[in-house]
Amino acid sequence: MNNPVNILIVIVLVSISCLLFYLGVRLITSKATFGKTNSNSNTNNTDNNYNNRSSFPLLNTKWKVTSMNSSNIKKYNPTMNFTDDSDNKGQGIPFSGNAGCNNYFGSFILLQNGSYSGMKPLKVSPIGSTKKMCADDEQMKVEYTFLKNISNVSYYSIQNTTLGLYDSNKNLIITLTKQ
Q: For 31-112, where are the alpha helices, taking DSSP H only?
A: 73-76
Question: 46-178 adopts what CATH topology?
Answer: Lipocalin (2.40.128)
Q: How does pLDDT run across 62-119, given as a tens digit for each residue?
A: 999 999 976 678 889 999 999 876 565 557 889 999 999 999 999 998 888 888 888 9
Specify the pTM.
Answer: 0.69
Between CA 60 and CA 52 the distance in angstroms is 14
Q: Where are the domains of the chain?
A: 1-30, 46-178
Q: How does pLDDT run across 13-37, given as a tens digit for each residue?
A: 666 765 555 555 444 443 433 444 3
Between CA 101 and CA 104 the distance in angstroms is 10
Q: CB atoms < 10 A from the CB of 115, how many?
A: 12
Q: What is the pLDDT of residue 30?
A: 39
| Nearest CA-CA partner of 124 in 98, 155, 100 | 155
Between CA 166 and CA 150 the distance in angstroms is 9
Average pLDDT, the chain: 78
- Mean pLDDT across the stretch 44-71? 71
Q: What is the pLDDT of residue 83?
A: 86
